[in-house]
Amino acid sequence: MSKQVRLAIVSLGIAISVLFSQVSQARTVEQEIEKTGVLKVGVREDSPLFGFGSEKAGYCADFANSLAENLSEKLGKTINTELVKSTLQNRWNLVKDGTVHLECGPNIIAPEREQEYGIKFSQPFFVTATQVFTTTDTTEESLKSGTIGIIEGTINEQEIRLLYPDEQVNNSFGSTRQGINAVQLQEIIGFASDGILLEATASVLELNPNRYNLVTPLIGNIPLCNAYGMILPGDEQNSQWHDTVNSWILKSDRAVEIWKTWFNDFLPYIRVILDACQGTQPN
């Protein structure tokens, strides 16, 4: 066999391998779930109500299990749920690189993030607003001059920087719990985050609700309202998967029951935020 023939065969083999690799990667999420029998969902461990503790207990774990049950009926085979730990930093890439089929958590819907990270947000499943946790003895004057804690790289940080000068903002905090503890230790005057995460974390810490306030920053007369969505793959070939998840969020009685299980105790807070945000668009 001549050298040229050998080279041609090797080149052909490489081309075929690349082709089959591309075909394999082109499988849609639902095709992969059907093939493997596993729905992989990213869930945070640091977000009370949504995903908390090593068991990732919360709305997201229950939502994932109910979606797997629905897929089992739809596909005619048992679909199991695999919960993968996600973080504030890795949640986008977990979805983009296919490690998980969706990520559920307090993910603020922002079109620019869809473009930046190559993902797609689901329909909203929760509404909150950026608020500042303070102690009840904090005065309006001290809030104007004191240090506001924040988590770096969040929508909350972008919004707080619209209202406070840079020298007043400390973005060295890694979690809501850390920020709330810093307020209680009087290391900072307030900590800004999504109001529902502040409320939920205060509940986990068993704080006396009469000893803290959630201050709501306004632009004009409108709070800084935000909606949460699931993170989904951004490619168009998975449009059916987008429809499946959105339909389960919006139309499933079981999904509504799960939502009530986790959020009913916070309905007074949610109603106040919804009333304040009425007529505004999520950021």
Contact 42, 84 (CB under 8 A): yes
Structural domains in the chain, CATH included, are: 28-125+229-275 (3.40.190.10), 127-226 (3.40.190.10)
Of 263, 229, 233, the C-alpha closest to 249 is: 229
For the stretch 247-281, pLDDT in tens is 999 999 999 999 999 999 999 999 999 998 885 44
Residue 154 φ/ψ, nearest 5 degrees: -95, 160
12: buried, middle or exposed (CB in 10 Å: 19+, 13-18, 0-12)?
A: exposed
- The pLDDT of residue 188 is 98
The confidence band for 24, taking pLDDT boundaries of 50, 70 and 90, is: very low
User: Taking residues 122-142, what's their average pLDDT?
Assistant: 95
Number of continuous H segments (helices) and E segments (strands) in the chain: 12, 15
8-17, 84-93, 188-197, range with the lowest pLDDT: 8-17
pLDDT, tens digit (0-9, with 9 covering 90-100), for 55-89: 999 999 999 999 999 999 999 999 999 999 999 99
From 249, 247, 242, select the one nearest 228 (Cα to Cα): 249
Q: What is the pLDDT of residues 27-42, one digit of tens each?
A: 899 999 999 999 999 9
Alpha-carbon span 78 to 192, nearest angstrom: 43
Task: State the sign of the Cα–Cα–Cα–Cα dihedral 67, 70, 75, 79.
Answer: positive
pLDDT of residue 42: 98
